[in-house]
């Protein structure tokens, strides 16, 4: 019910806050979706932060009577480009990367390195589970120093035995 959903949200936010420390801004965009802004952060560092949050979320257990609940999270990571005039453009790319992560099996991080990738699925991250292919490198020599993540914790949450 609602109290358990609130508890899951609190646990997920705690994972995010622990991984972000004072380096980013976490905002709930609705339901179980969040956006994380990382000013002064390049894409590879943002990817590592997303993976750290994903791993912490997956390791977290929520005790309820007679069982434990586990949650997982998917992340889409994108960087701000010189041509971006509005936040919505960056957020849209991060959301596209999140959609790719969900399409690739959830509980993973997907990275959109450039707007040119928008027509194809975002690149999955090598550190994520069930990843088989190599990550593509961007041909650009200058990497953005501002990144954003769109993320969601996966539901339903599932019980495990204590």
CA distances from 1 to 4, 31, 104, 157 (A): 6, 14, 28, 12
32 catalytic per annotation? yes
Checking DSSP bridges between strand 109-112 and strand 73-79, what pairing results, if any? parallel
CA distances from 112 to 38, 62, 63, 115 (A): 15, 32, 36, 8
* Active-site hit among 11, 32, 68, 88: 32
| Minimum mean pLDDT range among 5-9, 97-101, 107-111, 118-122 | 118-122
Per-chain mean pLDDT for the chain: 76
pLDDT at 119: 54
pLDDT at 66: 75
Mean pLDDT of 27-42: 89
Mean pLDDT of 117-132: 47
What six digits make up the tokens of 31?
A: 């339901």
More confident residue, 144 or 54: 54
Mean pLDDT of 28-35: 88
């Amino acid at each position: 019910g609602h109290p358990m959903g609130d508890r899951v949200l609190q646990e997920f936010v705690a994972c995010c806050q622990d991984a972000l420390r004072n380096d980013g801004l976490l905002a709930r965009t609705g339901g179980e979706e969040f956006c994380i802004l990382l000013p002064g952060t390049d894409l590879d560092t943002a990817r590592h932060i997303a993976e750290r949050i994903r791993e912490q979320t997956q390791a977290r257990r929520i005790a309820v009577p007679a069982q434990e609940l586990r949650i997982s999270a998917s992340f889409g990571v994108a960087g701000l480009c010189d041509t971006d005039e509005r936040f919505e453009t960056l957020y849209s790319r991060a959301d596209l990367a999140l959609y790719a992560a969900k399409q690739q099996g959830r509980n993973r991080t997907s990275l959109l390195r450039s707007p040119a990738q928008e027509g194809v699925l975002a690149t999955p991250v090598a550190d994520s589970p069930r990843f088989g292919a190599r990550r593509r490198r961007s041909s650009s020599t200058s990497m953005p120093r501002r990144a954003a993540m769109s993320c969601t914790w996966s539901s339903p949450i599932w019980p495990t035995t204590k």
